[in-house]
Amino acid sequence: MPKAYWISAYRQVTNPDKMAAYAKLAGPAITGGGGRFLARGEAAKVYELGIKERTVLIEFESVAQAIATHDSPAYQEALAALGDGAEREIRIVEGV
């Protein structure tokens, strides 16, 4: 079964305090769900329509595991803490 990758691409962080509250809850929720952080931080370089903002890449053993982690009560609590503190998109992609 191929691994899965959770990619969070931030367009803008609008409230650093909410972002910090989210991060405090999200990290343990994601690692507790089997996620392994591969990269996180501001992009070193962007091309085409890229925005030089925070990006996070997390590896999971499967798409099902990544989705279950996102939908878990622990991660949903982190999302509630973030609220409107950031504009971003999350994609879960199956590895090749």
CATH number at residue 22: 3.30.70.100
Question: Confidence band (pLDDT; 50, 70, 90) for 1?
Answer: confident
Total structural domains within the chain? 1
38-59 pLDDT, tens digit per residue, is 999 999 999 999 899 999 999 9
Please tell me the pTM assigned to this model: 0.93
Q: Which residues make Cβ contacts (< 8 Å) with residue 71, sequence separation at least 6?
A: none
* Close Cβ partners of 45 (under 8 Å, ≥ 6 residues apart): none
What backbone phi and psi angles, to 5 degrees, belong to 89?
-130, 150
Six-digit token string for 66: 């990544």
- Confidence grade of residue 60 (pLDDT, cut at 50, 70, 90): very high
Determine the Cα–Cα distance for residues 86 and 91; give it in Å rounded to an integer.
Answer: 16
